[in-house]
A and B are shown apart, each in its own frame.
Chain A
Amino acid sequence: MDYPIWNVAMGGGVLMAWVAITHVIVSHFAIGGGLVIVVTETLAVKRSDPELRELARRASLVLILVSTVFGAISGVGIWVVAGLISPGAISALIHTYVWGWAIEWVFFVLEIVAALVYYTTWDKISKGAHVLVGWLYFIGAYLSLVIINGIVTFMLTPGGWLESRAFWDGFFNPTYWPSLVLRTGICILMAVAFMLWSAYRAPVDRRPDLVRYLGWWFLGGALISYAGYRWWEAMLPDTVTALFLGDAPTLATLADTRSFALWSLTVALVVAVVALLAAPRLARGVTALVLMAAAFAFFGGYERLREGVRKPFLVHSHIFSNGLLVSQIETINRDGIAAHSGWVAAGDPSPEALGERIFRTQCSSCHTLDGYQGIRPVLPTVADMELVVSDGPGAGAVAYEAQCSPCHGDVEYEDMVGMLPTVDEIREDPDFIRELNLGMITMTVLELREMGEEITAFDPTTPFDMRELTHPTMPPFVGTDEEAEALAVYLASLDGAGAAAAARGGAQ
């Protein structure tokens, strides 16, 4: 909250999603690939099977090119982007788990050195030594997952850490083991999705064998993933599962994401059973593409769900995604955000300019102006108001339903239109509507500040039930009355005269 802000038009969250999604896919492939490749080579040595050996060899080229390069760089990329968009949050995480990350680094060193040695020593060292290097690679890679899994799951379910602040209480949190099982399954899915391409390059007569061999791996990976996923869901606190499970989930989009993920896994399982196990001769490039797409969709859906249910926290019930600590709410409400951050205090003191700096500090980690989670489209404008009153029960009623009814659910559309000025009156005196809009925005900002007061009343040693709040997926606003007003002035100014005129032209 007291760092300078990096302005990214597309939204920092979108950039982070791109970097993180590519990294998790590649890193899970690197782990699963390590297992499947080394087991394949071990079997090849035992059975003296040259084609099985070639499968391991070809896949190891992909492994090194993808995991040691792309995986390593995108892994660093997560820190780079997190430091740029959520410095306070990543700092809190690093200060809590620096030794966890340091331990993971040790395994990472083993993993990378072993990967390089493994790939470059084909045909050069004894079979036993080569297999040994492969197993060391897998052990290093898997142990890095064992460590990072503790930190990632801590963020959603910090468990006993909320009370004890003890490293291991947070590390072995309620979702640690289910998540490890789930990710182990996903690692295998990712590995097979990539390795199928290597199997297709085998001689035609051996291809079905190799495809079926990988099919068994895929089936195992899918079943482990499913078991891990259900266990993970079962270990989530009710306050979290209520967001996406049940007859009336709080966040319907996350319920859809869950369905999407599970159906994707089902599709992957069916395709694998039919095309890899039952009729491996049918397997073609398109089969691998479908399996990759389905496996990625399941994995992506799960990650989206995991991130979504954690909102608005970085570490649940401890620190919000914009870097605000729960423990800071009262102090900042009392002293003001400008007293807390030199970057907010410095510069033009006019309300609009101050409000813009407050927006950048408190809101921009999730909201862009016009892009992803754009704030401008959800703010009331003069054009919106004209639309509501100008079009009778058609588009006006729809606009009213979409934009106004969440706050004015007790007022019928016709009654509201009766209370509002006509289109001509609005055009004659748009400032009246702007004042009205400013009032509505101010009310919302103050509502968000009140939410902070409610949050501070929660028991800080147990996971918060955010469903009780008016905006359960948003951090509270923190600051003084003047700062709340400044933010509202800035937000209202986003509906500038030019924008309003343009919108009016569009409406006409």
Chain B
Amino acid sequence: MNVDLVPALDAAGLPGPPWLFHFLLVFTFFLHLIFMNLTLGGTLMAFVANLKGGGRENDANTVFARRLMGVNTYAISLAITTGVAPLLFVQVLYQQYFYAGTILLGWIWFAMLVFLMIGYYAAYLHKKFRGGWLGLSAVMFFAIAMVHVAVHLVHVQPAKWQAFDGSAVSVLGDPTYWPRLLHFVLAAVTFAALVAAWWAVRRARAGADVELNTAIAASAWRWALWATVLQIVDGFLLVIVLPKPVLLGVMRGGLATLGPLTLGILLGIGLLVMLARTSSPVEQPGLVSGTLATLLLTVAIMSVTRHQVRVLYLDDFTSQFSATIAPQWGNFVLFAVLLVAGLATVFWMIRRVLTSPAEGEDAA
């Protein structure tokens, strides 16, 4: 363990108690995951579905792909927007590790911006021109996932920084790298698939393109089922390959760490059971909504576990430092009030839009 390589804590101190930033980091990361899952999982599935559809306009696969990319018109922007907040809070709490980790990866971390730009514009170009843009977009978003997993694993392992300094790509050889990456990718696919299934079931039940929506719902449901099967296997693999001190830390952490992990695993298994109970989701809309809600809860719980694992990875190092705390309560309250007001405005605006449909001359 080489504590000397860990930079000093910021002299300005924390502008609030650590628990507040831990909470905000996890909460905003959870928000980010919702849209990131739609973006990554949706684009990967759309790519495959589009290939299967073979360009036939009314084929269920083609429509499924188009629908997923339609959602992405919003999801990509919102994934970036909601990603800003956890990026801010991680810099407050983990500046010593996060900056060092990103610097060790250097251009790889910077490349994330380029991948994002290409992936985003390729998604737009796909909507306009079709062709190979969707594949490019899917590859870019997958590459971004790879970069983020790399950044995470480098920044939480200061003991290996000297090795990463010599070869940043050696992070690909970290035993947890591929299981971790797969864990996120499979979750993204499951999430996007379930949202697509939920929407198709709603449309079918409302009598709109019943045959088409039934086919899309069934296809999306299968995606979610098989991704969850693989996720259960990969999840256990990820737990097994975690560094021993981290795993022991989880086990010895009592209810605080074992609670969320156990709940997350149980929810994952429950999800699998719910997904396996039907192959015809349109007939069981309650089950579909329940499954989507269960998945949302699982993602929230797993966000907590992911954060706890980071804390345990870094425990030997963070325990060497003691942050000064200089709370700015007034500014925090202002932020909280504006956050509530801002979100209320967003909901009010969306409600106003949904209740103001118009056509022809009356429309904007």
Residues of A within 8 A of B (CB): 2-7, 15, 41, 45, 65, 68-70, 72-77, 79-81, 83-84, 87-88, 90-92, 94-96, 98-103, 105-110, 112-117, 120-133, 136, 140, 167, 325, 327, 340-343, 345-346
Contact = CB atoms under 8 A, between A and B. Distances in A.
Nearest to A319: B11
Interface in B83-124: 83-85, 87-89, 91-92, 95, 98-100, 102-104, 106, 109-110, 112-113, 116-117, 120-121, 124
A87 B335 CA distance: 25
Nearest to A72: B80
B94 to A, nearest CB: 10
Which secondary structure dominates where chain A touches chain B? helix
Nearest to B162: A346
12 contacts: A75-B84, A79-B87, A87-B7, A91-B91, A98-B16, A105-B84, A106-B342, A116-B73, A117-B349, A122-B363, A136-B345, A325-B11
Which secondary structure dominates where chain B touches chain A? helix
A83 B363 CA distance: 46
A96 B328 CA distance: 10
A343 B5 contact: yes
A112 B124 contact: no
A114 B349 contact: yes
B346 A4 contact: no
Contacts, number: 212
Given A91-B95, A105-B84, A108-B81, A41 B15 contact: no
Contacts of B162: 346
A4 B335 contact: no
Given A110-B342, A113-B78, A124-B358, A91 B99 contact: yes
A143 B289 CA distance: 38
A4 B15 contact: no
B77 A72 contact: yes
A13 to B, nearest CB: 15
A47 B350 CA distance: 27
Nearest to A120: B73
A112 B77 contact: yes
Contact of A81 (B110, B124, B332): B110
Nearest to A117: B353
A30 to B, nearest CB: 12
A346 B364 contact: no
Interface of B: 2-8, 10-16, 24, 73-74, 77-78, 80-85, 87-89, 91-92, 95, 98-100, 102-104, 106, 109-110, 112-113, 116-117, 120-121, 124, 161-162, 165, 328, 331-332, 334-335, 338-339, 342-343, 345-346, 349-350, 352-353, 356-359, 362-364
Nearest to B70: A120
A121 B353 contact: yes
A201 B357 CA distance: 28
A110 B345 contact: yes
A106 B339 contact: yes
Contacts of B339: 102, 106
A411 to B, nearest CB: 45
B357 to A, nearest CB: 6
B95 A94 contact: yes
Contact of B352 (A106, A132, A340, A342): A132
B15 A112 contact: no
Contacts of A80: 102, 109-110, 112-113
A133 B349 CA distance: 7
A25 to B, nearest CB: 15
Contact of B4 (A103, A105, A107, A346): A346
Given A126-B364, A131-B364, A112 B78 contact: yes
Given A73-B120, A125-B363, A117 B73 contact: no
Q: Which of B89, B116, B363 is most buried by chain A, counting CB atoms within 10 A of its CB?
A: B363
B109 A95 contact: no
A70 to B, nearest CB: 7
Contacts of B335: 99, 102-103, 106
Contacts of A342: 2-6
Ordered nearest first, which 6 A-B pairs have the shortest CB separation?
A130-B364, A342-B4, A87-B99, A99-B331, A129-B356, A95-B12
B13 A95 contact: yes
Contacts of A102: 24, 85, 88, 335, 339
A108 B358 CA distance: 28
Contacts of B82: 109
B100 A124 contact: no
B11 A6 contact: no
B364 A99 contact: no
B331 to A, nearest CB: 4
A99 B14 CA distance: 11
A73 B80 contact: yes
